[in-house]
Structure 1
Amino acid sequence: MEGELFLLKDAKGRAFLIHLKEGGVFHHHRGTVPHEEIRKAGPGGRVWTHLGEELSVHHPTLEEYLLHMRRSATPTYPKDASAMVTLLDLAPGMRVLEAGTGSGGLTLFLARAVGPTGLVESYEKRPQHLAQAEANVKAFWQVENVRFHLQSLEEAQLERESFHGVALDLMEPWKVLAKATEALKPDRFLVAYLPNITQVLELVQRVEGLPLKLERVLEVAWREWEIRLPVAHPRFQQVGHTAFLVVFRKWKDC
Structure 2
Amino acid sequence: MEGELFLLKDSKGRAFLVRLRPGGVFHHHKGSVPHEAILRAGPGGVVETHLGEPLSVHRPTLEEYVLHMRRSATPTYPKDASAMVALLDLAPGMRVLEAGTGSGGLTLFLARAVGKEGLVESYEKRPHHLKQAEENIRAFWQVENVRFHAQGLEEATLAPESFHGVALDLMEPWKVLPKAAEALMPDRFLVAYLPNITQVLETVRAAEGLPLRLERVLEVGWREWEIRLPVAHPRFQQVGHTAFLVAFRRWKAS
Deviations 1:194-224 (A, max 9, x none): 0000000000011111000000000000000
Deviations 1:4-26 (A, max 9, x none): 00000000000000000110000
Deviations 1:76-100 (A, max 9, x none): 0000000000000000000000000
Aligned residues: 254
Shift of 1:172: 0.1
Deviations 1:195-254 (A, max 9, x none): 000000000011111000000000000000000000000000000000000000000010
Instruction: For 2:154 and 2:40, locate their aligned partners in 1 and report how far apart those are by CA, in whole Å.
Output: 49
Instruction: For 1:134 and 1:160, locate their aligned partners in 2 and report how far apart those are by CA, in whole Å.
Output: 27
Aligned equivalent of 2:211: 211
3-state SS of paired residue (1:108): helix
TM-score (norm. length: structure 2):
1.00
Q: Does 1:201 align with 2:226?
A: no
Instruction: For 2:210 and 2:160, locate their aligned partners in 1 and report how far apart those are by CA, in whole Å.
Output: 15
**Runs of 4 or more above 2 Å deviation:** none
Deviations 1:145-175 (A, max 9, x none): 0000000000001111000000000000000
Aligned equivalent of 1:121: 121
Aligned equivalent of 1:108: 108
State how 1:85-234 maps to structure 2 within 5 Å: 85-234=85-234
Shift of 1:71: 0.4
TM-score (norm. length: structure 1):
1.00
Which ranges in structure 1 are unaligned for 5 or more consecutive residues? none
Instruction: For 1:208 and 1:234, locate their aligned partners in 2 and report how far apart those are by CA, in whole Å.
Output: 42
Shift of 1:47: 0.2
Deviations 1:112-138 (A, max 9, x none): 000000000000000000000000000
Instruction: Give the letter for the 1:202 counterpart.
Output: E
Q: Does 1:62 align with 2:62?
A: yes
3-state SS of paired residue (1:2): coil
Aligned equivalent of 1:28: 28
Instruction: For 2:13 and 2:233, locate their aligned partners in 1 and report how far apart those are by CA, in whole Å.
Output: 17
Which ranges in structure 2 are unaligned for 5 or more consecutive residues? none
3-state SS of paired residue (1:56): strand
Instruction: For 2:49 and 2:229, locate their aligned partners in 1 and report how far apart those are by CA, in whole Å.
Output: 29
Instruction: For 2:2 and 2:126, locate their aligned partners in 1 and report how far apart those are by CA, in whole Å.
Output: 29
3-state SS of paired residue (2:111): helix
Aligned equivalent of 1:51: 51
Instruction: For 1:206 and 1:174, locate their aligned partners in 2 and report how far apart those are by CA, in whole Å.
Output: 6
RMSD of aligned alpha carbons: 0.3
3-state SS of paired residue (1:191): strand
3-state SS of paired residue (2:143): coil
